[in-house]
């Protein structure tokens, strides 16, 4: 008999779905959506419908492993937990006595969004005195830019957008990356709203929108300033809101004057007529709403782009209008007491911090001390980090001792000295916040861990014991930690108790309708057109429409590369599922026919995409869904499923964004040429079970 148990999707996706997991004889047999979840309402994506194949994947790591062959080959032997943990402690103690604990670097991100497991290594590495990791790879620029304008505040509840009469989706492929927002937008449309997408290419979402404005990548701030110019010129401004809730309008007016529509057309590629129509629609709407995605922030001037977009709602008073406003993230409302989990007080003062975007540099250039121990968990840096060539060169170093906790024999795990089997979310306890809605949910294990898998918390506690760390944070259960996290006086937690959340059903935070209550999280408590903080940092205190450009590549490489998410994968996760990989198709670069013809590139043929940092091979798709000068590669395929085993991040740079120190994943210039000798080498096959042998790497060109 199948029994359905409640759980939560742990993946790094704004939707944080409620799940119903079918279990029969202790085995997961199906995963479906929980119809009682108020936001996700019983629907889940195609990826997680295939979850049993992930949990029982032939690539699942079931026992601790120790490297036997050369790094990268994935040749391991099984060892016991004691042997694995003793080895790690022994190697770390040697590193610490030789060079100090800063020679050890933790590297983790969002393999699970469960708050306990996500942070379960922090107290251990703080106590150890290891280098600290700045976790910037995803949202740091967007967060920093948004905060300058509006503060680090929770943003408009997507559920409220059913009352909007204008939905602007700005740099987000919502239908793939935030699919549960779509039904709310459709309801708004049914009531008369139109849906406008602002994106450099016609992604899945643009194809379903009423209008698509195709701007040049990196020109969002100019477009937003162009809209401001027109709102002010045509007096579509909400003067009451501006005088009560904003700072620096007069100076903004001066700045916006520099962005007349004809000028903005030249910068953005969006026609003057389209800009005028957008400004008028936005200014005339009763409740205009913006969903700002991460795309605009993944540019070198991405912080400024998001800061500028985030000023638009204030000009028209949108945050005071039911259905209107702007959504970036909802996460600021989940204001847990994190002290017991993080234990920042245990870190020695002055210990260095390494930006995770610069992993390649950290592993190959850093000295004083060099990184000698790398501890990877809940992340797959061999695939997801920029400048892969440097990252891999680092991972290949024989003098680097690498530990990887994983569910699967991931690309990064192939380089590990010790691989530790990690329990999945279905096998562990955690509490889940969301960055797309306002429901909190706790999940308990629905099955026992497979093989010898352990949760991240229990792995770090095992290491802490061996280091004789006695602080009580190293002895707590997940539930005790969660209980402690509820000791917060955040107004969003008013009336919420641990006991209620422990029942395992979604619980709404106490946000009421009070998002953007009129006081913003900036130093002045107002929306800051003018920011003194920026001024004090020597930055432009006003929004600035200078486009993002890849200056290093200019003149030599003429095609801008965007590398946004794939519908069937989640970052590098789900590559292992045959069905999803077959739906995703061969790794493809979208190129405009004009660019293709100029380079002798033919549809469906293998091409070499390159720049100074590296190269990889992809199948060309000639399409007018993208514009001349812009190429698009959706999805992070594991290199073992790419021709010649080279992933897309061969081409991306470690350069940091203007704010937040994030990665400009969509701001890299490349060139494309036909691949002369189709260099198909489906190697690493030895470690891919037969079921995973991929059809697309065996045929070079489908003519
Ligand atoms: N199916 C699926 N869902 C996912 C993920 C996944 O990999 N797959 N990843 C998850 C994660 S970790 C995240 S952070 C989110 C990200 O979700 P999104 O915000 O949707 O992803 P982005 O990479 O930011 O790309 C969004 C869009 O921005 C566009 N873009 C690129 N440059 C610019 C620009 O300069 N201006 C504008 N206006 N648009 C630009 C891209 O073309 C793309 O269509 O999705 C999450 N959900
Ligand atoms: N070119 C390019 N690169 C990108 C992006 C892009 O748009 N373009 N997007 C970037 C973004 S937005 C992000 S957020 C990052 C994401 O980068 P990551 O956070 O590294 O995300 P994933 O690729 O999903 O890899 C997570 C890994 O953690 C493992 N894992 C899952 N749960 C657990 C667990 O409980 N314990 C342990 N030990 N392991 C677990 C999974 O098996 C998987 O291998 O990638 C970035 N990289
Ligand atoms: S990946 Fe996103 S859409 Fe899919 S089940 Fe998880 S939270 Fe829901
Ligand atoms: Mo992300």
Task: Classify burial at 31, counting beta carbons within 10 Å of its beta carbon; exposed 0-12, middle 13-18, buried 19 or more.
Answer: buried
Alpha-carbon distance of 436 to 623, in angstroms, equals 32
User: Helices 249-257 and 220-233 meet at what angle, rounded to 10?
Assistant: 110
* Cβ contact 570:564 at 8 Å: no
Q: Give this prediction's pTM.
A: 0.96
Alpha-carbon distance of 248 to 577, in angstroms, equals 52
Q: Which of 114, 678, 669, 82 is nearest to 430 (CA)?
A: 114
Alpha-carbon distance of 141 to 665, in angstroms, equals 12
Pick the atom of ligand 3 nearest to 570's CA. 1
Q: Ligand 3: distance of its center to the CA of 118 in Å? A: 17
Q: Residue 351 in 3-state DSSP?
A: coil
Secondary-structure class of domain 65-135+355-508 per CATH: alpha beta
**Counting every residue, how long is the chain?**
703
Q: Ligand 3: distance of its center to the CA of 173 in Å? A: 14
Q: Ligand 1: distance of its center to the CA of 293 in Å? A: 6
Cβ neighbours around 368 below 10 Å, total = 9
Alpha-carbon distance of 453 to 64, in angstroms, equals 8
Alpha-carbon distance of 161 to 193, in angstroms, equals 10
Alpha-carbon distance of 430 to 117, in angstroms, equals 7
DSSP 570: B
For ligand 3, whether the C-beta of 15 sits within 6 Å is yes
Q: Which of 328, 284, 338, 662 is nearest to 520 (CA)?
A: 328
For ligand 3, whether the C-beta of 19 sits within 6 Å is no
Q: Ligand 4: distance of its center to the CA of 208 in Å? A: 23
For ligand 3, whether the C-beta of 454 sits within 6 Å is no
Nearest CA to ligand 3 atom 5: 44
Q: Which residue has the tokens 């007069």?
A: 250
* Cβ contact 459:422 at 8 Å: yes
| Burial state string for 579-598 with b = 16 or more CB within 10 A and e = fewer than 16 | ebbeebebbbbbbbeebbee
The CA-based angle 227-435-11, given to 5 degrees, is: 125
Alpha-carbon distance of 122 to 99, in angstroms, equals 21
| Burial state string for 69-86 with b = 16 or more CB within 10 A and e = fewer than 16 | eebbebebeebeeeebbe
Q: Residue 161 in 3-state DSSP?
A: helix
For ligand 2, whether the C-beta of 377 sits within 6 Å is yes
Cβ neighbours around 678 below 10 Å, total = 14
Q: Ligand 4: distance of its center to the CA of 139 in Å? A: 6
| Structural tokens at position 651 | 């081409």
* Cβ contact 456:425 at 8 Å: no
Q: Which of 645, 653, 576, 578 is nearest to 617 (CA)?
A: 645
- Longest CA span, the chain: 72
DSSP 201: S
Alpha-carbon distance of 610 to 650, in angstroms, equals 8
Alpha-carbon distance of 54 to 57, in angstroms, equals 5
CA-CA-CA-CA dihedral for 393, 394, 397, 403, to nearest 10: -130
What residue segments make up the domains of the chain, in order of their start?
65-135+355-508, 141-328, 551-686
Q: Residue 556 in 3-state DSSP?
A: coil
For ligand 2, whether the C-beta of 57 sits within 6 Å is no
Q: Ligand 1: distance of its center to the CA of 143 in Å? A: 15
For ligand 3, whether the C-beta of 16 sits within 6 Å is yes
Cβ neighbours around 369 below 10 Å, total = 16
Alpha-carbon distance of 254 to 44, in angstroms, equals 47
DSSP string, 21-58: EEEETTEEEEEEE-TT-TTTTT---HHHHTHHHHHT-T
- Report the number of secondary-structure helices (H) and strands (E) in the chain: 26, 27
User: Which runs of E-coded beta strand occur in 243-317?
Assistant: 246-247, 288-292
Ligand nearest to the CA of 180: 3
For ligand 2, whether the C-beta of 113 sits within 6 Å is no
Peptide bond into 158 cis (omega under 30): no
Q: Where does ligand 1 bind, in terms of residues with CB under 6 Å?
A: 12-13, 138, 170-173, 176-177, 198-201, 203, 215, 217-218, 220, 293-296, 298-299, 562, 564-567, 569-571, 666
Cα Rg for the chain, rounded, in angstroms? 25
Nearest CA to ligand 3 atom 8: 17
Pick the atom of ligand 1 nearest to 110's CA. 12
| Structural tokens at position 406 | 């994983």
Nearest CA to ligand 3 atom 4: 45
For residue 701, what pLDDT is reported? 36
Alpha-carbon distance of 510 to 317, in angstroms, equals 24
Distances (CA, A) of 688 to 205, 421, 640, 650: 34, 18, 9, 22
For ligand 3, whether the C-beta of 155 sits within 6 Å is no
Nearest CA to ligand 3 atom 7: 16
Instruction: Report H helices in 132-213.
Output: 140-150, 174-177, 182-190, 204-207
For residue 676, what pLDDT is reported? 82
For residue 685, what pLDDT is reported? 39
For ligand 2, whether the C-beta of 128 sits within 6 Å is no
Three-class SS of 588-600: EEEECHHHHHHCC
Q: At 88, which helix (H) or strand (E)?
A: helix 81-99
Q: Residue 349 in 3-state DSSP?
A: coil
* Cβ contact 650:388 at 8 Å: yes
Nearest CA to ligand 2 atom 9: 571
Q: Which of 275, 293, 301, 581 to mutate to test the pocket of ligand 1 (most atoms within 8 A of CB)?
A: 293
Task: Classify burial at 104, counting beta carbons within 10 Å of its beta carbon; exposed 0-12, middle 13-18, buried 19 or more.
Answer: buried
What's the average pLDDT block by block, 10 residues per block, for the chain (703 residues)? Answer: 97 98 98 98 98 97 97 97 98 98 98 98 98 98 98 96 98 98 98 98 98 98 98 98 98 98 98 98 98 98 98 97 96 95 96 98 97 98 98 98 98 98 98 98 98 98 98 96 96 95 97 80 97 96 98 96 98 97 97 98 97 97 98 98 95 98 98 80 41 35 32
For ligand 2, whether the C-beta of 636 sits within 6 Å is yes
CATH number of 141-328: 3.40.228.10
Cα 459–chain centre separation: 25
CA-CA-CA-CA dihedral for 526, 531, 532, 537, to nearest 10: 140
Task: Classify burial at 448, counting beta carbons within 10 Å of its beta carbon; exposed 0-12, middle 13-18, buried 19 or more.
Answer: exposed
Alpha-carbon distance of 575 to 581, in angstroms, equals 6
Ligand nearest to the CA of 209: 1
CATH number of 551-686: 2.40.40.20
């Amino acid at each position: 008999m199948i029994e359905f148990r409640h759980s939560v999707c742990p993946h790094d996706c704004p939707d944080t779905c409620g799940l119903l997991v079918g279990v029969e004889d202790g085995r997961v047999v199906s995963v479906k959506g929980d119809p009682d979840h108020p936001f996700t309402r019983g629907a889940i994506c195609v990826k997680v419908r295939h979850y049993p194949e992930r949990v029982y994947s032939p690539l699942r790591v079931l026992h601790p492993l120790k490297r036997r062959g050369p790094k990268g080959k994935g040749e391991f032997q099984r060892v016991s937990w004691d042997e694995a943990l003793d080895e790690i402690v022994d190697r770390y103690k040697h590193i610490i006595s030789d060079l100090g604990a800063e020679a050890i670097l933790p590297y983790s991100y969002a393999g699970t969004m469960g708050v306990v497991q996500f942070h379960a290594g922090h107290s251990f590495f703080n106590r150890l005195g290891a280098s600290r990791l700045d976790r910037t790879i995803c949202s740091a620029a967007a967060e920093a830019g948004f905060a300058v304008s509006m503060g680090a505040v929770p943003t408009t509840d997507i559920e409220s957008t059913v009352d909007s009469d204008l939905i602007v989706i700005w740099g987000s492929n919502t239908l793939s990356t935030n699919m549960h927002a779509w039904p709310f937008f459709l309801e708004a449309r049914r009531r008369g709203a139109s849906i406008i997408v602002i994106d450099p290419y016609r992604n899945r979402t643009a194809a379903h929108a009423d209008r698509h404005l195709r701007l040049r990548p990196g020109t969002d701030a100019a477009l937003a300033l162009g809209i401001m110019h027109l709102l002010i010129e045509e007096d579509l401004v909400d003067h009451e809101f501006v005088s009560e809730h904003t700072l620096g309008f007069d100076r903004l007016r001066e700045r916006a004057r520099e962005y007349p529509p004809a000028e903005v057309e030249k910068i953005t590629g969006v026609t003057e007529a389209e800009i005028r129509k957008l400004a008028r629609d936005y200014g005339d709407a009763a409740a205009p709403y913006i969903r700002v995605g991460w795309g605009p922030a993944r540019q070198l001037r991405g912080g400024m782009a998001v800061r500028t977009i985030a000023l638009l709602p204030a000009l028209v008073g949108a945050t005071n209008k039911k259905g209107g406003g702007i959504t970036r993230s909802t996460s600021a409302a989940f204001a847990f007491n994190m002290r017991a989990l993080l234990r920042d007080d245990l870190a020695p003062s002055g210990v260095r911090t390494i930006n995770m975007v610069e992993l390649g540099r950290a592993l190959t250039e850093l000295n004083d001390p060099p990184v000698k121990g790398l501890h990877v968990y809940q992340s797959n840096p061999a695939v997801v980090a920029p400048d892969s060539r440097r990252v891999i060169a680092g991972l290949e170093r024989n003098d680097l001792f690498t530990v990887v906790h994983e569910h699967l024999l991931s690309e990064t795990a192939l380089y590990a000295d010790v691989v530790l089997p990690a329990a999945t979310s279905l096998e562990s306890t955690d509490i889940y916040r969301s960055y797309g809605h306002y429901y909190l949910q706790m999940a308990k294990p629905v099955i026992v861990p497979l093989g010898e898998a352990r949760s991240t918390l229990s792995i770090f506690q095992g290491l802490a014991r061996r280091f004789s760390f006695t602080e009580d944070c190293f002895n707590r259960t997940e539930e005790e930690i969660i209980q402690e996290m509820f000791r917060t006086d955040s107004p969003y937690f008013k009336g919420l108790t641990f006991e209620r959340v422990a029942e395992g059903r979604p619980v709404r935070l106490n946000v009421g309708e009070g998002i953007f209550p009129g006081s913003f999280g900036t130093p002045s408590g107002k929306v800051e057109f003018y920011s003194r903080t920026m001024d004090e940092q020597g930055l432009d205190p006003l929004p600035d429409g200078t486009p993002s450009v890849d200056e290093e590549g200019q003149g030599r490489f003429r095609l801008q590369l965007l590398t946004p998410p794939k519908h069937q994968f989640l970052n590098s996760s789900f590559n292992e599922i045959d069905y999803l990989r077959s739906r995703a198709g061969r790794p493809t670069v979208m190129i405009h026919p004009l660019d293709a013809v100029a380079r002798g590139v033919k549809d469906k043929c293998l091409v070499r995409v390159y720049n100074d940092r590296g190269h990889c091979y992809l199948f060309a798709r000639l399409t007018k869904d993208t514009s001349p000068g812009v190429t698009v590669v959706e999805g992070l395929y594991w290199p073992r499923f790419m021709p010649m085993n080279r992933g897309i991040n061969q081409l991306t740079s470690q350069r940091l964004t203007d704010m937040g120190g994030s990665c400009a994943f969509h701001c890299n210039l490349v060139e494309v040429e036909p691949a002369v000798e189709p260099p198909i080498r489906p190697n690493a096959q030895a470690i891919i079970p037969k079921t995973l042998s991929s059809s697309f790497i065996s045929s070079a060109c489908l003519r």
